[in-house]
Amino acid sequence: MANILIIGASRGIGREVARSAIGRGHHVRAMSRSGTSPSGASGAEAFKGDALEPGDVRAALNGMDVVVQALGVPVSLDLFTKPVTLFSEATSILLPEMSAAGVRSLVAVTGFGAGDSNKAINPLHRIPFEIALRRAYDDKTRQEALIEASDLNWLIVRPGVLVSAPTTNAPRVLTEPGEWRNGIVSRSAVATFIVDRIEADHYANEKPVLICLPL
């Protein structure tokens, strides 16, 4: 059984990871600003904390084996007009706190289009990506660079277009740059992949793109 800290556990992939991990018997500490247990993961240990507060992060890391960082920003006008800094700021706090606490394994969820996967965006998708997502993904790129420069055991997970409906097939795990492309993938499929990797203790400093149906 692993002791898993999920940062950003109240919704999205973080919530799905909590549900999957609890269902397999792992201990989950679900950190969120609300401090409530993720729906469908009643066995999780709810932890109220802010990813931008070092003291909260330090306390949340106590006794943990692995961190799943699954942060998100709300869709609002600010996303289109103002710089996004949450991902890189939170990561710059998390990494030294993990090192100090002796927690060596990190799974970070970013997305297709972050880091060196940006060059794999289809030209037809480039314009809407630049309009809607560029600011957030510029910061996810900074987040990835911080993680890659660390000495932790890390796995950067880059899902394609996320949907809530579960899919019956496992996601395609695209590890080679020549394979990278956008596609549709369910949050539950991404969560299953993450928990599988945690159980296998397999991080490998990889940056796979995950899709189920290519676009």
CATH number of the domain bearing residue 94: 3.40.50.720
Tally of domains in the chain: 1
Q: 164: exposed, middle or buried (C-beta count within 10 Å: 0-12, 13-18, 19+)?
A: exposed
Cβ-proximal residues to 26 (8 Å cutoff; 6+ apart), any chain: 1, 2, 3, 4, 195, 198
pLDDT tens for 111-126 read 999 999 999 999 988 9
pLDDT tens for 31-68 read 999 888 898 888 999 999 999 999 999 999 999 999 99
156 near 147, Cβ under 8 Å? yes
Find the domain containing 88 and state its range. 3-214
Q: What is the pTM of this model?
A: 0.95
Distances (CA, A) of 203 to 37, 68, 196, 206: 27, 12, 10, 7
How far is residue 17's CA from residue 193's CA, in Å, rounded to a whole number?
9
